[in-house]
Amino acid sequence: MLRVVPTETWQLVLEFDSGAVRLFDCSAGRRDRPGFDAAELASPETFKHLTFGGDGVRWPGGPALEADYLFAGSREVSGSELERQQLRVAYRNQAPTPEHPTHHVYFVYVAPFAARPLVIGESINGGHAEMGGSAAVDLTGLLARPGWQRHFELAGCAWAVPLVEDAGRADRARIDDLVREVCRRAGTAESDVAGYHGKR
């Protein structure tokens, strides 16, 4: 497999060597898969903490799914549905700020299969009184955007700045680097969730 992207809805976006892109639902019961317990992946952090290779996907200390099984159990995905598949890179509540005393969240998401694969934004106040917003940009647009490094820092992913700025890597490779690093950090002390709850 060329790419595996865990989404925020317990799905895996899988790009196979053939070029086929498919969506595998990890939240569904897998009665045809003895030993695979979807409940083990109920935590978003556990679900995202995966590695993959040409032979399949595995979770440390947990289940493993072979490429052939993933292909057979998934469905084709394309167009706008594919472009909407996102993985959160980081989010951090920086309140109190001049804009709001309790809720001012900076966030960064990656949508690897979209033409503009990076989503950056702020949630201010939240709920029905939301005053924030977001923008989807490609790497060129992000690098030209004033203050983007500061936004990444406020969102809790200053670590991603060198990956984005690595001019020696193709755009797709840099996006893939972001995904792999999010997966590596998930469920550890380096995860964005640990930072979110640890902020004082």
At 200, is the pLDDT very low, low, confident or very high (cuts 50, 70, 90)?
Answer: very low
Range of the domain at 113: 86-198
Radius of gyration of the chain (CA): 17
Q: What is the pLDDT of residues 37-68, one digit of tens each?
A: 777 788 889 999 999 999 999 999 878 899 99
Instruction: Answer yes or no: do 74 and 165 share one domain.
Output: no
Q: What is the pLDDT of residues 134-151, one digit of tens each?
A: 999 999 999 999 999 999
Instruction: Answer yes or no: do 94 and 8 share one domain.
Output: no
Evaluate whether 154 touches 92 at the Cβ level (below 8 Å).
yes
Instruction: Look at residues 62, 42, 60, 41 and name the one whose alpha carbon lies nearest to residue 51.
Output: 60
- The CATH number that applies at residue 44 is 3.30.2020
Q: What is the pTM of this model?
A: 0.90
Peptide bond into 98 cis (omega under 30): no
Dihedrals φ, ψ of 74, to 5°?
-115, 175
How many residues are present in the chain? Answer: 200
Please enumerate, as own/partner, the contacts of 103-107 that have beta carbons within 8 Å and a separation of 24 or more: 105/132, 106/151, 106/154, 106/155, 106/156, 107/134, 107/155
Instruction: Answer yes or no: do 94 and 176 share one domain.
Output: yes
